[in-house]
């Protein structure tokens, strides 16, 4: 039996879409997971389909220090699932992309995590050390470059930093690898959780 995992994202200009594709690839690479990548707009039209999911990973760009209006529309539409706790005990995760290293991205992840918690979902962090793919890169004040995983050291969810570079030049390879590893982790945790419950 397979477990269904949805990656649900909004992207105004395509950067977060690239990050979402990487999260999806990571999740889909896990045997036993059937992953789907859908926009927030599509998710609003498919709220009842999401009742059958085992996991959802939410992604949004950071706009003015919080999730985008496009993602918030999905979050508010999905509030109708809260009344019956229809999404209770589904596994959840979150990711965000923005221009600056910080840009207050954490606030976006916290908003997406709180949404998951309000639904009674089981939220999964990155469990990834800073500059995980090259810890030696931490021994300089310049810090790690764009090729390492988790270069900004985020634990609550996956972060990507695109500065003012248009896709496909951004997000950089390391941030996409971070997103892929995170999607894989949430998928693996989902399988453990679902099989444990069975
Ligand atoms: C309305 C708006 C607000 C933004 N606010 C922030 C912000 O608070 N912090 C930040 O680092 N970048 C901010 N940015 C930059 C975006 O996060 C950045 O361009 C990102 O790559 C856009 O992702 P997208 O292509 O998926 O829409 C903002 C962009 C827009 C359009």
* pLDDT digits 0-9 by tens, 103-124: 999 999 999 999 999 999 999 9
Cβ 13 under 6 angstroms from ligand 1 = yes
**99 C-alpha vs ligand 1 centroid, how far in Å?**
6
What pTM, to 2 d.p., does this model score? 0.98
Asked if 82 and 31 touch (Cβ cutoff 8 Å), the reply is: no
Asked if 65 and 104 touch (Cβ cutoff 8 Å), the reply is: yes
**67 C-alpha vs ligand 1 centroid, how far in Å?**
10
**Distance (Å, whole) CA 17 – CA 91:** 21
Residue 140: exposure state from Cβ atoms within 10 A (0-12, 13-18, ≥19): exposed
Q: Report ipTM for this prediction.
A: 0.99
Atom of ligand 1 nearest to the CA of 17: 26
In CATH terms, the superfamily for domain 3-197 is Flavodoxin domain (3.40.50.360)
**DSSP state at residue 36:** E
Ordered by start, the domain boundaries in the chain are: 3-197
Provide CB contacts within 8 A for 118, sequence distance 6+.
Answer: 82
Cβ 6 under 6 angstroms from ligand 1 = no
């Amino acid at each position: 039996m397979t477990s269904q995992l949805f990656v649900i994202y909004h992207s105004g200009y395509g950067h977060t879409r690239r990050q979402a594709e990487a999260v999806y690839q990571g999740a889909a690479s896990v045997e036993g997971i059937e992953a789907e990548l859908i926009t927030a707009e599509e998710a609003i039209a498919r709220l009842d389909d999401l009742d059958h999911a085992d996991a959802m990973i939410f992604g949004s760009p950071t706009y003015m220090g919080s999730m985008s209006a496009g993602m918030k529309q999905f979050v508010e539409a999905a509030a109708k699932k809260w009344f019956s706790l229809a999404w209770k005990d589904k596994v959840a995760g979150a990711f965000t992309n923005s221009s600056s290293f910080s840009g207050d991205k954490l606030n976006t992840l916290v908003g997406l995590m709180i949404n998951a918690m309000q639904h009674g979902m089981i939220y999964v962090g990155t469990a990834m050390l800073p500059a995980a793919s090259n810890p030696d890169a931490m021994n300089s004040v310049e810090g790690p470059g764009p090729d390492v995983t988790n270069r900004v050291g985020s634990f609550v969810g996956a972060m990507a930093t695109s500065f003012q570079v248009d896709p496909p030049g951004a997000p950089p390879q390391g941030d996409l690898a971070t997103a892929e590893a995170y999607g894989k982790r949430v998928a693996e945790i989902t399988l453990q959780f679902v099989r444990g419950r069975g």
